[in-house]
Amino acid sequence: MESPLSVNLEKVSHIFNNAVYLLLIVFFLLGNFVSFYFHFLTVTAFMLVLINVYYLYIQKQHALLSNFGLLAQIRYMVESIGPEFRQYLFMSDTEEKPFNRIERSEIYRKAKNVDSSAAFGSQLSFGPNEIKLRHSMYPVHKEDLKPFSVRFGEERNISNLHIIKKPIMISAMSYGALGSKTVRALARGARKAGITMNTGEGGYPKYHLMENCDLVFQMGTAKFGVRKENAVLDEEKLSELAAKDQIKMIEIKMSQGAKPGKGGLLPKEKITKEISELRGVPMGQDVVSPPFHTECTSAAETVKFIRRVQEIAGLPVGIKMCLGRPDEFSELVHQMKTQDNYPDYIVIDGAEGGTGAAPKPFMDDVGVPLYAALPIVQKILTEEGVRDKLKLLSSGKLINAGRQFVAMSLGADSIYTARGFMLAIGCIQALQCNTNTCPVGITTQDKKLQHGLDIEEKSDRVVNYINNLWHDHEEMLASLGKKSHSQLDRNNLYIPAQF
Ligand SMILES: Cc1cc2nc3c(=O)[nH]c(=O)nc-3n(C[C@H](O)[C@H](O)[C@H](O)COP(=O)(O)O)c2cc1C
């Protein structure tokens, strides 16, 4: 039986629709007999009637509109602004995803150089699934900490080593996914903070190069910027790029956590004339990169390709991947041993990683999450006796010192973050990176939306974020009783039994 309190939508919409017709008549009469100004309302009511007739009798795509007319449209409108309402009014500080408000405001505060300490107690979960860090009963003095340094390429004894002095780099995000002002703000911030930035797979890094910071040039599966027909490597273009002063390393992207087994995706809405030229792709259609490098169809070929890129570039060369099948990773490592050739680094990107655009099932259900993947990779590399042949990097929601320390304790030598830096320059997690409508101008090509993004101001946020993160790193190292990051290992972790 229908509850006396339940709303009969059909009845309500019937009354609502008739009210619109009635209003038209009332305003028309008032306009004729009381004051001409009522005709402004007559016109408005007339428009509403026309729209209502269209919804009810003409359009066929939406059953809800056909059945309920304007009232259904109001429902669609309320639904579309639901996320904003929930975000600002109803959701608790720990509810939002992928980063809740507590996590985001820590980054905002760090980036603005505002005290990010908190009171009363942590609001995070302390359930049995949480990995935590173990402190030492005997913390070290901060003055006794050793400077951080990772030397890429030292294992191969190459002359063009790339040395980083802080364990955090800006992870791959292409010009295309990001707007030009964002790229410049991040690149300028990277230069000021003395950190390295990855170009992403967006082709010739025109805007990155303007800011003169240390760069990792990323070569995606479409090889934008260094490609011939059919995504085949153009050696000459790669060698020209690698000769540039700012390009310190090359990264071959095999896969990424948000869409492993799929190539990059740039929605057509974001392809401007300039982007189509820089990437060598047509305008007006989505650009989907191939799911793998044409040169890499087996472990043996992949290792050969790594060597080829190392020889052409004369720089440290890494690969980026999301872990899928451990047996395939083992096979890759065997091939490295057989050919006695190793990438200078491997980045493990967790399945929880971010993206400018990706198919939802891949974001949600494909790939191994970072904290599960890192121990597998570290174990295989160690058991095969090749852990000292390369550096291990990691990414996947490593936006604060705590998570970065967990990853480093699980084997990573250094950290990449993408969304950490997006938040630092003002990302409000509107989740619109794929629609060209980013309200803060970070992931859009729309000049009007980019208007509010001041390159100099945002570059300072990058510097503040890094400095404050580094402060946390020093404090945490000391409390863990370690003198350097290289001393971090699994003993520093409280790991629940199921891991
Ligand atoms: C807007 C955006 C664009 C990205 N573009 C690329 C890309 O071009 N190449 C790539 O390998 N990864 C790309 N990524 C993935 C990041 O580099 C990184 O691996 C992932 O987001 C995990 O790091 P995070 O959790 O700190 O963001 C992108 C991520 C975002 C959010």
CA distance readout (Å), 306 to 226, 229, 317: 15, 20, 7
Is the shortest distance between the CB of 409 and ligand 1 below 6 Å?
no
Residue 3 has a pLDDT of: 56
User: In the prediction, which pLDDT does 4 show?
Assistant: 59
Q: With contact defined as beta carbons under 8 Å apart, do 316 and 160 qualify?
A: yes
Element (H, E) at 169: strand 168-170
Pairing of strands 247-253, 214-219: parallel
Looking at residue 285, its pLDDT comes to 87
C-alpha 198 – ligand 1 centre gap (Å):
10
Select from 171, 218, 288 the residue to mutate for testing ligand 1; criterion: most ligand atoms less than 8 Å from CB.
Answer: 171
Element of type H or E holding 133 = strand 132-133
Q: Tokens standing for 262?
A: 């799929």
Question: How far does the centroid of ligand 1 lie from the alpha carbon of residue 352, in Å?
Answer: 10
Contact indicator for 315, 152 with CB cutoff of 8 Å? no
Q: Judge if the beta carbon of residue 417 lies within 6 A of ligand 1.
A: yes
pLDDT tens for the chain, 499 residues: list them. 455 566 787 888 889 989 999 999 999 999 999 999 999 999 999 999 999 999 999 998 888 898 889 988 888 888 878 777 777 777 788 888 999 999 999 999 999 999 888 889 998 878 777 899 999 999 999 999 999 999 999 999 999 999 999 999 999 999 999 999 999 999 999 999 999 999 999 999 999 999 999 999 999 999 999 999 889 999 999 999 999 999 999 999 999 999 999 988 888 988 999 998 888 888 888 888 999 999 999 999 999 999 999 999 999 999 999 999 999 999 999 999 999 999 999 999 999 999 999 999 999 999 999 999 999 999 999 999 999 999 999 999 999 999 999 999 999 999 999 999 999 999 999 999 999 999 999 999 999 999 999 999 999 999 999 999 999 999 999 999 999 999 999 999 998 875 5
Per-residue DSSP letter, 431: S
Atom of ligand 1 nearest to the CA of 350: 22
Residue 498, pLDDT score: 55
Q: Name which of 154, 156, 186 is nearest 168 in CA terms.
A: 186
In terms of Cα–Cα distance, which of 125, 103, 94 is closest to 398? Answer: 103
Counting ligand 1 atoms within 8 A of each CB, the residue from 207, 355, 406, 445 with the most, and so the one to mutate, is 355
In the structure, how many helices (H) and strands (E) does the chain have?
A: 18, 14
Q: Report which ligand 1 atom has the smallest distance to the Cα of 171.
A: 17
Residue 136 has a CB neighbour count (10 Å cut-off) of: 12
Pairing of strands 414-417, 168-170: parallel
Residue of 173, 278, 432 with the most ligand 1 atoms within 8 Å of its CB, for mutation: 173
Does the CB atom of residue 260 touch ligand 1 within 6 A? no
Cβ of 443 below 6 Å from ligand 1: yes
**Would you say 345 and 352 are in contact if contact means Cβ atoms under 8 Å apart?**
no
Tell me, in angstroms, the distance from the centre of ligand 1 to residue 374's CA: 18
Q: Are 182 and 443 in contact (CB under 8 A)?
A: yes
* 110 Cα distance to chain centroid: 19
Q: Does the Cβ of 344 fall within 6 Å of ligand 1?
A: no
**What's the pLDDT score for residue 248?**
98
DSSP state for residue 67 in the 8-state scheme = H
| Amino acid making up residue 24 | L
* Per-residue tokens: 27: 């305003």
Q: Is 256 in the pocket of ligand 1 (CB under 6 A)?
A: yes
pLDDT at 499: 56
Alpha helix ranges (H) inside 343-433: 360-365, 370-383, 401-409, 419-424
CA 475 to ligand 1 center in whole angstroms: 28
Q: Which of 104, 256, 346 has most ligand 1 atoms within 8 Å of CB, for mutation?
A: 256
Burial class (CB in 10 A: 0-12, 13-18, 19+), 35: exposed
Ligand 1 nearest-atom number relative to CA 349: 19
- Output the CA 258–ligand 1 centroid distance in Å: 8
- Output the pLDDT for position 28: 96
Ligand 1 atom, smallest distance to 178 CA: 1
Closest residue (by CA) to atom 17 of ligand 1?
A: 172
- Residue 429 Cβ inside 6 Å of ligand 1? The answer reads no
**Ligand 1 neighbourhood includes 253 CB (under 6 angstroms):** yes
Ligand 1 pocket residue status of 221, Cβ below 6 Å: no
Residue with the two structure tokens 């002359």: 159
E strand segments, 175-246: 196-198, 214-219
Bridge-partner residues for 395, per DSSP?
Answer: 349
CA angle 280, 285, 291 (to 5 degrees): 70
Ligand 1 neighbourhood includes 252 CB (under 6 angstroms) = no
Q: How far apart are CA 246 and CA 259, in angstroms?
A: 29
Instruction: Report which protein residue has its CA nearest ligand 1's atom 5.
Output: 173
Tell me, using a 6 A CB cutoff, whether residue 266 lines ligand 1: no
Where do the DSSP E strands lie in 291-421?
Answer: 317-321, 345-349, 391-395, 414-417
How many CB atoms sit inside 10 A of residue 323's CB? 25
Does the beta carbon of 415 sit less than 6 angstroms from any atom of ligand 1?
no
Tokens of 479: 């409390």
Q: Beta 132-133 vs 265-266: how paired, if at all?
A: unpaired
Per-residue pLDDT, 259: 96
Ligand 1 atom 6: the closest Cα is on which residue?
173
Q: Which residues of 195-215 are buried (b: 16+ CB within 10 A; e: fewer)?
A: bbbbbbbbbbbbbbbebebbb
What does the angle CA 465 – CA 165 – CA 169 come to, to the nearest 5 degrees? 50
The four Cα atoms 325, 330, 332, 337 give a dihedral, to 10 degrees, of 180
d(CA 273, CA 283): 7
265 lines ligand 1 (CB under 6 A): no
Say how many Å lie between the CA of residue 176 and the centre of ligand 1.
12
150 CB-side CA count, 13 A? 23
398 within ligand 1 shell (Cβ under 6 A): yes
> Per the omega criterion (within 30 degrees of 0), is the bond before 98 cis?
yes
Tell me, in angstroms, the distance from the centre of ligand 1 to residue 354's CA: 5
Q: Output the CA 423–ligand 1 centroid distance in Å.
A: 13
Whose tokens are 């001409």? That residue is 36
> Both tokens of residue 367?
């790939």
Work out whether the CA dihedral 415, 419, 423, 425 comes out positive or negative: positive
CA 363 to chain centre: 11
Distance of CA 418 from the midpoint of ligand 1 (Å)? 5
